[in-house]
A = this chain, B = another copy of it.
Amino acid sequence: MTEKQRSIMRASIKLFATKGFHASSTAEIAKEAGVAEGTIFRHYKSKKDILLAVVAPVLVKFAAPFILRDIREIFNREAELSVAQIVTELYRNRLELIEANEKHVRILLQEAFFHDEIREALLSTVFRETRTLADQLINSRIEAGELRPLPSEAVFRAILSSLIGLVLFKHVTDRDGFAKRTEEEQIAITVDILLHGIANRP
């Protein structure tokens, strides 16, 4: 990857995140990146290629760390971690990752509306793989009596919904300035509600 290429990536991320893919012209990208327009097409065979190049690393990032790599480990070791602990760590980890990759996430979600490839990639990597691993964990914890005997699909949905809620509300309330509680407290309350919802009572 040459310096120019990195520059094209940086410019594309900036423009796609703020104006969207369709509204950003290759001429703008070239200008923002400080390269000739032709240079863009030496490296990417089409404008859409730039988009996919921007989005791909994020998909990998979100599919790979923690949950996909470590959950199986945790699960196989008959872990000493409770579901509450796992979910808390999961939420922390995801919020951090989203914050660190905010622009990329924006682009990914925005363009998932329009491009089948991106939507499909998102579903088949992040979603499906996560779901498969989560199902194993959930079912084993149900058998162990830690969780209520609910359909694992519903439990998965509850866990993911709470995470999405945390992310959305963070952005909404941040901008409003009426978030009095710290993020750590928000996570704690959310996990408390979630666990009351899915766990067996002691």
- CB-nearest residue of chain B to A189: B154
B-contact bits for A131-148, CB 8 A (1 contact / 0 none): 000000000000000001
Chain B contacts of A169 at CB under 8 A? 157
Are the C-beta atoms of A181 and B151 separated by less than 8 Å?
A: yes
| Cβ of A124 to closest chain B Cβ, rounded Å | 10
B-contact bits for A85-116, CB 8 A (1 contact / 0 none): 00000000000000000000010011001100
Q: Which of B20, B154, B162, B197 is within 8 Å of A114, CB to CB?
A: B20
Interface residues of A (CB under 8 A from B): 19-23, 106, 109-110, 113-114, 123, 127, 148, 150-151, 153-155, 157-158, 160-162, 164-166, 168-169, 172, 176, 181, 186, 189-190, 192-198, 201
State how many copies of this chain the complex holds: 2
Q: Which of B157, B189, B195, B197 is within 8 Å of A151, CB to CB?
A: B189
| Cβ of A194 to closest chain B Cβ, rounded Å | 6
Measured in the bound complex, the distance between the Cα atoms of B123 and A169 in whole Å is 11
- CB-nearest residue of chain B to A113: B110
Measured in the bound complex, the distance between the Cα atoms of B161 and A186 in whole Å is 14
Chain B contacts of A153 at CB under 8 A? 181
Measured in the bound complex, the distance between the Cα atoms of B196 and A195 in whole Å is 9
Known: A19-B114, A22-B23, A194-B197. A158 touches B151 (CB 8 A): no
| Cβ of A103 to closest chain B Cβ, rounded Å | 12
Chain B contacts of A123 at CB under 8 A? 172, 176
- CB-nearest residue of chain B to A156: B169
| Cβ of A64 to closest chain B Cβ, rounded Å | 16
